[in-house]
Structure 1
Amino acid sequence: MRRLLRPPPPARRPIAALFVGYPLWWALGFGGLSLVVLAVPMAVVLWRRRPIAVPKGMGLWALLIAGYLVSALMLGEMPPGTYGDLGAGRVLGYAMRLALYLSLMIMVLYLGNLTPDELPQRTLVRMLGVLCVTTVAGGLLGVLAPGFQFTSPLEMALPEWIGGNSYVRNLIHPTAAQVQHVLGHASPRPEAPFEWANAWGSNISVLLIWFVVGWWTYGGTVRRLLCAAVVALATVPIVYSLNRGLWIGLAVTVAYVLVRARSRTALAVGAALAAAALAFWAGPLGAIVAQRLDSPHSNRIRAFTVAGTLEAAAHSPVIGYGNTRNAFGNYQTITTGRTDWCAECGHPPLGSDGQLWLLLITQGYTGAALYIAFFAGAVRRFRHDRTPIGQAGTLVMILVLMYMVVYDGLVTALILYLVSYALLWRNAPVPGTAPPGPAGPQALTAPIGTNGTAGTEPILNDNRAVTDPMRTVGGVTRGRLRAVGNEAGRPTRTTGTTTTAPMEAFR
């Protein structure tokens, strides 16, 4: 607790402000837009630290941004079957997405250029764990008090023509839940502290992964007890979210852990999950899940918008249209929008059913290909990293590729995706470096010498200061330990270190 209350070192303050201080940003009305604000001091620090290290594959993200700049040429064009004029709302939406794409790149470079002493890996993971606790609390608020909402300071400051836009209002108006008729009656779907219910579902699945790594794998007895309690509490809003994509993502996560864990660990995890599943289905929450699976009416809405998106993208397949578009009619009628006699008419804009579809209409097939190549390349490069952070980050990259067909990445989801990418980069092998040892404090023996004599000196390694593990070859990793932080925070440099293979999945 004293560590959490202690002011963070200057270099990690923007990151702490983003993840630990996220509830405050949400209350102020910024939410995920806080990254755009915090990217300014990050960019200043990067500029002063030139030259800047850039991870392999980041060029694809730069090309994605460059393509989005070119797509601005099509903002005034309308594909067949859509309507609307070029106005301030369309330009504002384009500018906001561009600012977020740029801020995400700055965040990744900033994280990767911080030294291990400035921001240890374990500290960054535990910051994400704090945000996970915030997300679970927001989910419970959405279940217990779905009508909770208030006008944020940013919302009060913006003119009506901006703040009154439905998309902008979702971003700046804090609400506990979206009340929808998914089950045929009004039911709350938690969304606090994010912009909408689907964003909450996507984010909690990623945050739970990092929470388990930071608070269970790297935690002591107290942290593990808290971890188990938070995960148990998270079950309630996860079920009430009625979010099938989230449920599938959690199933993929469990399958990934079972496949990559040791056989004995996999057996224990499988037995525990089987017992939990039986208890779950026997309780009231299981009935809610079954009812949601029997109410797939949203599939027709998605089918309509996806078909319209593909048709629109076919008319500008290379650079897209810069922003989303509204289509004539919906899956029930050719009427556009709601009317007095057709309250159910109207639908989300084309490109709003997933990041893949958003990229297709805003940047064409070129943008979608760059996005897929960026995250698929991360899976290919980092899949051999057997440390908990390496395996958790690779799992997140896999979920990104799955979620892109059902979830929008903007605003907050992409922040978590890219910080996971940064964690993988910081954990990646660097020539001449050696990996951290097994989970928890470990005593490594490093050769030292004084006036030509040799000896050994124990070094306490808690995995917080080493951020560049090498891949194992034949079960042994060899290299030079660049900087290992002891409990006092003093790095010790050594050469010729040999450690055993890193730990298995999530342990």
Structure 2
Amino acid sequence: MLMVSLMVLRRRLDLVPGILPWFAFLLWAAGAAVNLPSALSMVGFIQRYGNLLAVGIFMLYYINARETLSPRKIIHGVLCVWATVIILGLIATQVPELRLSTPVGALLPKALTANPLVYDLAFPPMSEIQQPWGAPQPFERPAAPFPYSNSWGVAFVVMTPVAIAALGTLRARWKRALVVLLLAASLIPALATGNRGMLIGVALALGYVLVRTGARGHLLRVAVLGSVAGAAFFALVASGTLEEILGRQEYSDTTGGRLNIYSETFAAALKSPLLGYGAPRLDETIGVSLGTQGYIWLLMFSYGFVGLGLFVIFLAGGIVRTWRAPGYTGLWLHSVPVAGAGIAGFYSFDVMQMTVMTLVLAVLLRARYFGEKLI
């Protein structure tokens, strides 16, 4: 509300190409509420829609706060959040059974926290502990401050490139050294998640920057980055993470299960192609809510193919418009929406992860259309 009030007092809003598709998406998504099955389902719809609306406000506010909110502040803000996530991940590898206590959790009535989902959101576990049938020992996968390990992995994908980009904006040597140390330490919780989608996302960001850096003729940086990528792959193999991922697949066929859910979700979306169903719905035949196994599927099922199309126009359009991201910092920032688009098919984004991805796009869009420097 504070951001909205400040923009209203300003009396004039500047827009840049690439922002309007998001608000067109918001308008269409609002119409999907007519297909909600019950008044109770409106609660979840309002929560999800409120998050999308907040993301739009954040982008619009940043575009118009050129005098007070610099790209450096956004980059450093994301860096602080990333460092917190990494430190919590490191703690999770040592005390996986602990839970975080939050002020919101302390204020919520017990009637609400008795719900397992609400409890996990209010008191997130340090690790998501899974033991599929037949597995000799449980898989302890870092998750804090999120309720699920996959969410931790998505956050790692969209924030780690920003942390690397921040290295070019830090003036103090000890700060740069601390970020480098955290980058190295981040491999410990990242590999402990055994998260295939996270590895794909990181590989996309790294490979993207590697190719674009080579195309710009910076061969020394390509050599350094290639060496880092090789070391990370060696750590993946030497740590046994690759073997653990394959082992988890042996006891839990998540790939086959997802393909079945995707098929059912697409078939259901075809029956309500325009406005969708407003929210994910439980499919009694497979025991899973359709529209929960990836952001693309969530949008398709909840807001129809038009809603999905508007989101794709926003994201793809933003990537294309900011293709000439300036400098090495800009290139790492540009890898964020590229990697996010690559994993959106099989992982969902919560409000924090979506905020990071869209704010990075807003930073790049403002830099292009207002000639702003990123560092």
Structure 1 length-normalised TM: 0.68
For 2:15, what is the secondary structure of its paired residue?
A: coil
For 1:326, what is the secondary structure of its paired residue?
A: strand
Q: Distance in 1 between matches of 2:105 and 2:228?
A: 46
**Is structure 2 residue 228 aligned with structure 1 residue 248?**
no
**Is structure 2 residue 81 aligned with structure 1 residue 127?**
no
Q: Distance in 2 between matches of 1:310 and 1:166?
A: 28
Contact 1:305–1:350, Cα closer than 8 Å, also in 2: yes
Contact 1:150–1:175, Cα closer than 8 Å, also in 2: yes
In the other structure, the counterpart of 1:404 is: 344
Q: How much has 1:170 moved relative to structure 2?
A: 3.4
In the other structure, the counterpart of 1:395 is: 335
1:366 to 298, 306, 327: 306
CA pair 269-156 structure 1, distance change in 2 beyond 3 A: closer
For 1:239, what is the secondary structure of its paired residue?
A: helix
**Is structure 2 residue 27 aligned with structure 1 residue 66?**
yes
**Is structure 2 residue 124 aligned with structure 1 residue 145?**
no
Q: How much has 1:425 moved relative to structure 2?
A: 2.2
In the other structure, the counterpart of 2:237 is: 281
CA pair 52-232 structure 1, distance change in 2 beyond 3 A: same
Q: Distance in 2 between matches of 1:164 and 1:283?
A: 38
Q: Distance in 2 between matches of 1:367 and 1:164?
A: 34
Contact 2:277–2:301, Cα closer than 8 Å, also in 1: yes
For 1:230, what is the secondary structure of its paired residue?
A: helix
Q: Distance in 2 between matches of 1:294 and 1:216?
A: 43
Contact 1:240–1:288, Cα closer than 8 Å, also in 2: no
Q: How much has 1:250 moved relative to structure 2?
A: 1.1
Contact 2:280–2:291, Cα closer than 8 Å, also in 1: yes
In the other structure, the counterpart of 1:315 is: 271
Structure 2 length-normalised TM: 0.91
Which structure's residues are more often strand, by fraction? 1
CA pair 167-57 structure 1, distance change in 2 beyond 3 A: farther
For 2:141, what is the secondary structure of its paired residue?
A: strand
Q: How much has 1:389 moved relative to structure 2?
A: 4.1
Q: Distance in 2 between matches of 1:280 and 1:353?
A: 25
Q: How much has 1:219 moved relative to structure 2?
A: 4.7
In the other structure, the counterpart of 1:100 is: 51
Structure-to-structure mapping, 1:203-214, within 5 angstroms: 203-214=155-166
Counterpart of 2:321, as a letter, is: R
Q: Distance in 1 between matches of 2:280 and 2:147?
A: 18
Q: Deviations over 1:230-280 (max 9, x none)?
A: 011110111111110100111112211211211222123213432453355
Q: Distance in 1 between matches of 2:210 and 2:298?
A: 33
- 5+ residue gaps, structure 1, are 1-39, 77-85, 331-345, 437-462, 465-507
Contact 1:150–1:173, Cα closer than 8 Å, also in 2: yes
In the other structure, the counterpart of 1:239 is: 191
Greater relative CO, 1 or 2 (CA 8 Å, sep 6+): 2
Count of aligned positions = 369
CA pair 259-316 structure 1, distance change in 2 beyond 3 A: same
For 2:293, what is the secondary structure of its paired residue?
A: coil
Structure-to-structure mapping, 1:94-493, within 5 angstroms: 94-116=45-67, 118-150=68-100, 152-159=102-109, 162-181=112-131, 184=135, 185-216=137-168, 218-261=170-213, 262-278=218-234, 280-285=236-241, 287-289=243-245, 291-292=247-248, 297-330=253-286, 346-347=287-288, 349-430=289-370, 433=371, 436=373, 464=375
Q: Distance in 2 between matches of 1:253 and 1:69?
A: 33
Counterpart of 1:361, as a letter, is: F
Identity of aligned residues (%): 24
Q: How much has 1:220 moved relative to structure 2?
A: 4.5
Which structure's residues are more often helix, by fraction? 2
In the other structure, the counterpart of 1:490 is: none
For 2:128, what is the secondary structure of its paired residue?
A: strand
Q: Distance in 2 between matches of 1:294 and 1:257?
A: 33
Counterpart of 1:191, as a letter, is: A
Counterpart of 1:115, as a letter, is: R
Contact 1:389–1:423, Cα closer than 8 Å, also in 2: no
